[in-house]
């Protein structure tokens, strides 16, 4: 176990700050390593000008597959992201489920700094497959109480069908 590691020291220049406690174990030969890394819930970090409660995180390396059993990120000002799934390391095959729960639109990186006044909440259940250079996204995105440039747009729903994203 490593307690209260200064994240800014580990990743200088990344814009991430806070202290994290990590539990890690590994066994097996290097060509068939199995490992597990855990971070308890409630770890507070700052990134992208925002504060987050990170954890619990439970990630394992099972041969050539990274299994994300639990990865939770809750924004202190509201909203949360949960990730579960697997990433094949050899070819970067993605099999990830993402759940976004009542995340303020203005808290999405890049939105607040865009200069466009927009607010509201977004929730989503998405499945990400394919590979990073050609991801496929399916699922549902729901918007609530959206206001853009002073215009009340209300609620909305997007259903994403299987389709490749990218070239």
Buried b (16+ CB within 10 A) or exposed e, 53-87: ebbebbbbbeeeebebeebbbbbeeebbbbbbbbb
Residue 164 has pLDDT above 60, yes or no: no
pLDDT, mean of residues 37-57: 90
The 8 Å CB, 24+ separation contacts for 104-110 are 104/75, 104/77, 104/78, 104/79, 105/143, 105/146, 107/50, 107/75, 107/77, 107/78, 107/79, 109/48
pLDDT band, very low/low/confident/very high, at 148 (cuts 50, 70, 90): very high
pLDDT bin (cut points 50, 70, 90) of residue 167 is: low
Percentage of the chain beyond pLDDT 70 is: 97
Per-residue pLDDT of 48-80, as tens digits, reads: 788 999 999 999 998 889 999 999 999 999 999
Tokens of 76: 């202190």
Q: Is the pLDDT assigned to residue 15 strictly greater than 80?
A: yes
What are 91-142's pLDDT values in tens digits?
Answer: 999 999 999 999 999 988 888 788 889 999 999 999 999 999 888 999 999 9
Which pLDDT score, from 0 to 100, does residue 111 have? 86
How high is the pLDDT of residue 163?
A: 58
Q: What pTM was computed for the model?
A: 0.84
Please tell me the predicted confidence (pLDDT) of residue 166: 61
pLDDT of residue 25: 94
Backbone angles phi, psi at 114, to 5 degrees: -75, -20
| Rounded Cα distance, 10 and 17, in Å | 10
Burial of 12 (0-12, 13-18, 19+ CB in 10 A): exposed
Model pLDDT, residue 2: 87
Sort 118 into a burial class: Cβ within 10 Å, 0-12 / 13-18 / 19+: middle
């Amino acid at each position: 176990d490593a307690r209260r590691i200064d994240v800014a020291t580990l990743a200088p220049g990344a814009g991430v700050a806070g202290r994290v406690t990590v539990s890690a174990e590994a066994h097996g030969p290097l060509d068939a390593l199995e490992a597990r890394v855990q971070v308890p819930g409630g770890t507070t970090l700052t990134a992208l000008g925002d504060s987050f409660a990170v954890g619990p995180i439970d990630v394992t390396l099972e041969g050539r597959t990274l299994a994300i059993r639990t990865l939770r990120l809750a924004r202190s000002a509201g909203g949360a992201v949960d990730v579960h799934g697997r990433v094949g390391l050899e070819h970067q095959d993605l099999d990830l489920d993402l759940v976004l729960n009542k995340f303020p639109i203005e808290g999405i990186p890049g939105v607040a700094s865009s200069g466009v006044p927009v607010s509201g909440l977004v929730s989503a259940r998405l499945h990400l497959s394919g590979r990073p250079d050609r991801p496929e996204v399916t699922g549902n995105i729901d918007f609530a109480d959206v206001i853009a440039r002073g215009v009340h747009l209300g609620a909305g729903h997007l259903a994403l069908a299987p389709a490749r994203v990218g070239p």
